[in-house]
Chains A and B, each alone.
Chain A
Amino acid sequence: MVDRSSPPLSGTSLVLRLAAIAVVVGAVAGAFAYVNGTFDPQRLTPKKLVNVLETNNGVHPGFRRNHAKGVCVIGHFESSGEARSYSTAQVFNEARTPVVGRFALPAGSPYAPDGAVPIRSLALRFTQANGQQWRTGMNSMPVFPVGTPEAFYQFQQALSPLPATGKPDPAAVPAFFASHPETAPFLAWVKTAKPSASYVTENYNSVNAFYLVNATGQKQAVRWNMVPVAKDAPGAMAPQGSDYLEKDLVQRIATGPLRWQLMITLANPGDPTNDASKPWPEGRKVINAGTLVLESTQPQLDGECRDINYDPLVLPAGIEGSDDPLLAARSAGYANSYLRRTSEVSQLPAAKQEAQQ
């Protein structure tokens, strides 16, 4: 074959050419490092969000980094057909859709006492006949304390223990609330909120806004509530002890299925979809999309809900995320937490013994 080698380069020319190659390769590598955040330590990343939760709550291998204490529930959803004209999602069109859910305490430790926070959460995964899924993580509060992931991160930082004392700075949280007026609706609610005695009597709110999309492509902004059919007796109080919620749930479900109505609130034009800290005004149209029926429970350590990441952006055709910035942050943060805890599954049995001590 023909030897296509060219005459040798002069020393200077060789150095210049090698330098040019280094510049090109360095530029590509630099652009990559820019994109992955290496040059931007201020950028809020999923890793930082989950790290601050670990700083505040400790690391409990194998458990969720937030809402760590919970219990799996199995059941189904019975559509009323009322949401059909707003969304093509099969869950609203089929009579029954199977559900795997999880009740939890919004705290970072799997051993937190049930009275530690006045909030309870319910996460659900609906599996449609066509294989698509709807995952939602709801909380028993009407609004989120803040509207952006950055503010949520700053709030978690205010709760972080100081290296010197091992305790959070007592002035940090009041200072955070003072500098974040958007927390006012949440603070007004939390003032009257008491830790409930049961998961079963709580109202669970999507908090974030979504869109229902119908067959003609029309989008309707919505938030939804799972409204319990069971009501507490007047004056019902949370019992003594720290683990009453799961026991109560198991007892109640043993006597028959538990039900919630899926109430979907339709936004008026102009209602904020991008700020979960703002409630929508009263008087919005509400439709009853159907009934959630929960039939049995499973322990979270080996139940079906354990390995489900209740990412609120896993949605079927006919439901879409809104422009609420918390949605993408939840999705990104949950994915990071999910990788951490699924890497630690083998450490869970030890945690089981720890819990029994």
Chain B
Amino acid sequence: MSAQPNHFAPLARLLHWLMALMIIAMLFIGAGMVASVSERHEWLIHLHKPLGVAILLLVIVRLAVRFSTRQPPLPADLPGWQVLAAKASHVLLYVLMLVLPLLGWAMISASGEPVMLGSSLQLPSIMPANASLFAFLRKAHGYLAYLLFLTVLVHLAAALFHGWVRRDGVLDSMLRGKDRG
């Protein structure tokens, strides 16, 4: 029995898959709504805002779980550049998960619109109303969302590479709860 865990903690796995679903949905909702003039634009926006706030709350829980549980180590024979890529891409994923909802909230605040999560639930503004600030935040929100999508694709490709090509237990550590053999 190794001193290091072979798997992520159950709560960490639950948060990973739940948020994976939410983030993918969120990226598609965002891409769809800015490319539509139909009623879809409206109902997608009404999904986008509360879902974004839910992701913001969950990522805070997730970071707490991450720092309070032990992570399975990467395989000892993984090349150095892949270790670096794995660590850097995870930092990037966490940063973007945290920053994108905050940017969304901040940009609506800077536009001077009330930040509404439904027909009556209102969040406080976190930025003063300012046109140039809005334009900056809105663009940052868009570009960083594309960066998050690219990072998610790389993450997916790397996970499958571990699972299907290297078969080194890395994909299993997020898929299964029990040690096999």
Contacts and interface: CB of A to CB of B under 8 A. Distances in A.
Contact of A329 (B37, B77, B122): B37
A132 B116 contact: yes
B79 interface: no
Interface string A14-29: 1001101100110011
Interface string B74-103: 011100000000000000000000000000
A218 interface: no
Given A28-B153, A32-B28, A317-B120, A342 B4 contact: no
A140 to B, nearest CB: 24
**Interface band, chain B:** 35 or more
Interface in A25-40: 25, 28-29, 31-32, 35-37
From A44, A328, A331, residue with most partner B Cβ within 10 Å: A328
A35 B28 contact: yes
A313 B42 contact: yes
Interface in B141-171: 149, 153, 156-157, 160-161, 164-169
**Interface band, chain A:** 35 or more
Contacts of B160: 20-21, 24-25
A193 interface: no
Contacts of B41: 46, 328-329, 331-332
B122 A321 contact: no
Interface stretch (B8-16, B48-56, B63-71, B127-135): B127-135
B20 to A, nearest CB: 12
A28 to B, nearest CB: 6
Contacts of A355: none
B21 interface: no
Contacts of A43: 35-36
Interface string A128-152: 0011110000000000000001000
A17 B164 contact: yes
A46 B32 CA distance: 11
Interface string A34-54: 011100000111110100000
A4 interface: yes
Contacts of A327: 42
Given A328-B42, A331-B42, A339 B37 contact: no
Given A45-B35, A46-B37, A5 B166 contact: yes
B33 to A, nearest CB: 8
6 contacts: A1-B4, A132-B122, A149-B38, A331-B41, A332-B36, A342-B131
- In the A-B complex, the 10 residue pairs with the smallest Cβ-Cβ separation, listed nearest first, are A6-B167, A36-B31, A37-B35, A4-B169, A342-B135, A329-B37, A342-B131, A343-B135, A307-B131, A317-B120
